[in-house]
Structure 1
Amino acid sequence: MTTVGDYHVFQAGDVTLQSGVVFRSMRLAYKTYGTLNARKDNVIVYPTSFGAQHTDTEWLVQHGGALDPDRYFIVIPNLFGNGLSSSPSNSREMLGAEPFPAISYHDAVAIQRRLLQEQFAISKIALVYGWSMGGMQAYHWAACYPDMVERAAIVCGSARCSPYNHVFLEGVKAALTADPAYRDGRFVAKPSAGLRAMGRVYAGWAMSHAYYRDEIWREAGFDSLEDYLAGSWDNAFSRRDANDLLAQIGIWQNGDISRCPEFGGDIDRALAAIKARVLLMPGRTDRYFDFHDNEDEVGRLTNAKLVELHPIPSIHGHRAGNPVNNAADRAFINAEISAILQI
């Protein structure tokens, strides 16, 4: 383990990925909050979402909240491709002329599991909590390591990337890679126009029809729709390396808990492997992860100790699951997570 700024890095060594490619000197960045108790049974794993680093998600870790560091030992592992863990932007010297290899959610949770076991000797997880791509990781955790995960909360996520979700991401990729800085499969400079176009595509999908119809953006202080788009979305992804974003889009599009030798592509078998108490919290107006996908998954979670489907009653679309500045949705999520932690 090494320490960089406010986080640590787990040196995973040479890792054979699900694809068969060997990733040399793979690194997992993570941050912990709170104290691991003597029984080591107060662990919460909170994986990051698309383009996010631990600093973007730690707002949910707060004293008196659902993810309370006074009660729990919370670990935020940074997903590969986010610029802190192994990513195109920090692996060029190591990879040389080789392209950044495709990484799967199965690869990611396998390294996260190694971190918990090798660094902290943790064998039980009280809760894996995740939003969006973090929710997909939570699902993978529950399916791949059913004897380790006691509870899984999937917020605006699903067991696999749906065709509709895949098409959305194709639009995002097309907008981003149309920039002239994209050459021979990678960006050779910052694609400012492509990043702005990507933000505009995201704006239409991230929020709901009702959000725009009722001009909810005015609550954030914007005077016009254009001001909102320019202020909230034009630079939303410019702080991230574009090659990193493409790597994470690849993980997202290929996400499927059944896509491993153990399950052989059988989604019913993968879902039936889950033993945890499962809380599915789709956004009622989410266009990325439609709540009907979670409805369909409920009946297939045949061996889960508990399955609850509680859609977030919000018009904030996908962002309902990450309500940094949305008190109502934040209260809903905190109450649901607090409740399942008591079961």
Structure 2
Amino acid sequence: MNDARHFFTFAEPPDLMPVECGAGLGPITLAYETWGELSAAQDNVILILHAFSGDSHVASHEQGNSKAREQGWWEFMVGPGKGIDTRKYFVVCSNIIGGCMGSTGPASVNPATDQPYGMDFPVVTVKDMVQAQKLLLEHLGIRKLLAVVGGSMGGMQALQWCASYPDMVTSAVLLATTARHSALSIAFNEIARQAIMADPKWQQGSYYGSDGPELGLAVARMIGHVTYLSDEAMRRKFGRRLQDRCNLSFDFNANFQVESYLHHQGEKFVRRFDANSLLYITKAADYFDFTTVDSETLTSMADAGIRFLVTAFSSDWLYPTYQSKELVRLLKKNSINVSFCEIEADSGHDGFLIPSRRLTDLVAGFLRARSEEKR
């Protein structure tokens, strides 16, 4: 992707990394990027955790080739003078295992067969993803995190970080996330998975070297993309406007602008994402359930003094505000320090990815206070 991306390979056979399903995985490669400079005291590290279809390229880099300077998925938030100020903080982000943006996933070569894993890739969980991230940080010599920051499925990873390694985490910023998927969220993910698996070109996951299930993957993305928006955002952006602005075609082509938009999103996604990765990552998100964390773990989080910022968006119907409030109640019930804010926004679940002065100030202020407390 760019010359700012680095790779860390570990768990070389026979020393495989155990995963929750009972299998072992290795070798594992994580693609990662960094911004800013690590302080002498190593107390300014922020780990950013991406959402399900994201990657390590959070923001552009001032140095490097044109690819390295391409805008990242959180460009408005991360960089010099921004909410997560890379003049102050050392920022790390890696692509998750199971992904397809440089890290080991179903499209990677299985050393046992010298062929892509496909569906032989073990089912991985959010806990497994976090375990791999910890090994990366140890490789980088990092023992403490000022903050873990994540939106959507990135927020799940941030929660898991606090549960698995509380002594490494000072604070956590959770944006548009949930403690566990509702039946509605699981249902949408299953429809997306079935769209892929029903495509004849899926071939039970063994499509590498051929065209692959492009139609199924495009439909899966269209389904997901609708859940990221809101009724108001779609009304404002598209309404019932027609493509040619005057006549119905009386066929099954994309008459409405919203139809054409979804087709475009599906086609664009097919060019950058692996269908099997979508299957594995959505299943990992469905399996995540922070409400089942035992009392000993919650006590460890409280004893570690982790401070939380939980932020919801008023029009998010995928992970609605009531789910954030349930998480806040769970944390407070266990004497964990947590602040909560609901941001009024009509952009839906994607609110944390859309430039917002209020969100930027909120995150910047929270991180600044945590940094000052460490001095």
Q: TM-score, normalised by structure 1?
A: 0.86
C-alpha displacement of 1:93: 4.8
1:78 to 92, 95, 112: 95
The letter of the residue matching 1:249 is T
Contact 2:126/2:284, CA 8 A, preserved across alignment: yes
Residues 1:21 and 2:47 are matched in the alignment:
no
2:68 matched residue in structure 1: none
CA contact (8 A) 1:12 1:25 kept: yes
2:321, 2:263 → 1: CA distance?
29
Q: Specify whether residues 33 and 95 from structure 1 end up closer, same or farther in structure 2 by C-alpha distance, changes over 3 A only.
A: farther
Q: 1:119 to 1:315 in 2, by over 3 A?
A: same
1:210 to 212, 215, 232: 232
CA distance in 1, matches of 2:299, 2:271: 40
Residues 267, 169 of structure 1: alpha-carbon distance in 2 compared, 3 angstrom cutoff: farther
Q: Give yes or no for the alignment of 1:274 onto 2:301.
A: yes
Residue 148 (structure 2) pairs with residue 128 (structure 1):
yes
- 1:49-99, Cα deviation, whole Å (9 max, x unpaired): 112112243523211111111110000021112211111112345555760
Q: Return the alpha-carbon distance in structure 2 between the equivalents of residues 104 and 193 of structure 1.
A: 27
Shift in alpha-carbon separation, 1:272–1:282, aligned structure 2, 3 A = farther
Q: Which whole-Å CA distance do the structure 1 matches of 2:285 and 2:353 have between them?
A: 18
CA contact (8 A) 2:31 2:56 kept: no
Letter matched to residue 184 of structure 1: Q
Contact 1:66–1:337 (CA under 8 A) maintained in structure 2: yes
- State whether residues 168 and 288 of structure 1, in contact with CA within 8 Å, keep that contact through their aligned partners in structure 2: no
The 3-state SS of whatever aligns with 2:81 is: coil
In structure 2, the residue matched to 1:254 is 287
State the SS of the aligned residue for 1:299: helix
Corresponding residue for 2:249? none
Matched, 1:57 2:73: yes
For structure 2, the residue ranges without an aligned partner over 5 or more in a row are 58-71, 246-256, 370-375
In structure 2, the CA distance between the partners of 1:109 and 1:203, relative to structure 1 (3 Å rule), is closer
In the superposition, relative to structure 1, how do residues 211 and 82 fare at CA in structure 2: closer, same or farther (>3 Å)?
same
2:123 maps to 1:102: yes
Task: Select which of 333, 336, 351 maps to 1:320.
Answer: 351
Give me the whole-angstrom Cα distance separating, in 2, the residues matched to 1:192 and 1:161.
27
Unaligned 5+ runs, structure 1? 259-264
Q: CA 1:186/1:245 → structure 2, altered by over 3 Å: closer, same or farther?
A: farther
With the length of structure 2 as denominator, give the TM-score of the two structures.
0.79
Corresponding residue of 2:248: none
Is 1:285 the equivalent of 2:315? yes
CA contact (8 A) 1:139 1:158 kept: no
Residue 294 (structure 1) aligned to one of 317, 320, 324: 324
1:226 to 255, 259, 271: 259
> How far apart, CA to CA, are the structure 1 residues paired with 2:17 and 2:109?
14
Distance 1:237 1:289 in 2: 25
> Deviation string for 1:224-252 (max 9, x for gaps)?
33343333444334411111221211211
Superimposed CA distance per residue, residues 248-303 of structure 1 (whole angstroms, 9 cap, x where no aligned partner)? 11211111236xxxxxx446665554331111112222122122111112122134
Aligned length: 327
* Shift in alpha-carbon separation, 1:216–1:42, aligned structure 2, 3 A: farther
Please give the per-residue CA displacement for 1:209-231, whole angstroms capped at 9, x wherever unaligned.
1212333689xxx9833343333
Check 1:28–1:138 CA distance in 2 against 1; reply closer, same or farther (3 A cut).
Answer: same
Q: Which residue of 2 aligns with 1:68?
A: 85
How far apart, CA to CA, are the structure 2 residues paired with 1:73 and 1:199? Answer: 33
Distance 1:91 1:48, change over 3 A: farther
**C-alpha displacement at 1:317, in angstroms?**
0.8
How far, CA to CA, are the matches of 1:48 and 1:335 in structure 2?
Answer: 20
Q: Secondary structure of the equivalent of 1:167? A: helix
Q: 2:35 touches 2:92 (CA, 8 Å); kept in 1?
A: yes
- Which protein has the larger Cα radius of gyration, Structure 1 or Structure 2? 2
Task: Check 1:100–1:128 CA distance in 2 against 1; reply closer, same or farther (3 A cut).
Answer: same
Equivalent position of 1:339 in the other structure: 365
For the Cα contact (< 8 Å) 2:214–2:270, is it kept in 1? Answer: no
Checking the alignment, whether the CA contact within 8 Å between 1:274 and 1:304 is kept in structure 2 is no
CA distance in 2, matches of 1:134, 1:42: 20
In structure 1, how many angstroms separate the alpha carbons of the residues matched to 2:44 and 2:113?
Answer: 38
The structural deviation recorded for 1:184 is 2.7
Conserved? CA contact 2:74–2:353, under 8 Å: no
Give the CA RMSD over aligned residues. 2.6
Q: For structure 1, which segment, 164-173 or 232-241, has the greater mean C-alpha deviation from structure 2 after superposition?
A: 232-241
Letter in 2 for 1:40: Q
Helix, strand or coil for the counterpart of 1:27? strand
Do structure 1's residue 193 and structure 2's residue 215 form an aligned pair?
A: yes
Q: In 1, are the aligned partners of 2:229 and 2:350 still within 8 Å (CA)?
A: yes
